[in-house]
Chains A and B, each alone.
Chain A
């Protein structure tokens, strides 16, 4: 049973470009969470999605960030017009309501 998959594992962007991070949940999991880990810090919740619905986006920056989890395909975290402060590790986790969240390997975003 494959775990949570994230790609790319590493992403380099120049300031002003767009970054797209993808997350495929574990089989049977319908809930996806995105977290951000800034250098030398803990993980901070960004957004919680179920298929085709955003349930809680209280941790998302108000501008430039968006997330989706379509009926088919992976969940996408999109960052428009990236800035240096967006450099971080972005983790996706999947689970069901009552289960532990299982984390993907993360995408390391570096903005030059």
Chain B
């Protein structure tokens, strides 16, 4: 069975602090994809990143970075120098490389960045 765990329900930080959102996944697939989405208060889902299971290179995009470690089945997301606009719920998701390609979402982490 596939599963995604985001153990942090809610995190509060002060603006300009760095923050890491944890994501741990379970799958028996040898090939799979991992995703992060942002859901701001307006409610839409904003795609942030997709990572293939065979590519363990970490990625940086501006203030965002992702650390993929197959050995610990984790795909953590770090925001550097957080801003109030980063306040949102962040979801990690897993998708197999075969079958119906449905996403398995974690329960989300609510990030509050205080001014």
Interface residues, chain A, with chain B CB atoms under 8 Å away: 31, 33, 35, 41-45, 48, 55-56, 59, 89, 91, 93, 95, 97, 100-106, 108
Contacts and interface: CB of A to CB of B under 8 A. Distances in A.
Given A100-B35, A100-B50, A45 B45 contact: no
Interface string B81-115: 00000000001010100011111111110000000
Contact of A43 (B47, B91, B95): B91
Chain B, interface size category, equals: 20 to 34
Contact of B101 (A31, A35, A41, A43): A31
B44 A35 contact: no
B43 A103 contact: no
12 contacts: A33-B103, A41-B108, A43-B103, A45-B102, A45-B104, A48-B102, A91-B45, A100-B35, A102-B47, A103-B45, A106-B43, A106-B44
B101 A105 contact: no
A45 B101 CA distance: 10
A101 B100 CA distance: 12
A55 B43 contact: no
Contacts of A91: 45
A45 B44 contact: no
Given A42-B107, A43-B45, A100-B47, 17 more contacts: A35-B103, A41-B108, A42-B108, A43-B93, A44-B105, A45-B103, A48-B100, A48-B101, A56-B99, A97-B101, A100-B35, A101-B103, A102-B47, A103-B37, A103-B45, A104-B44, A105-B44
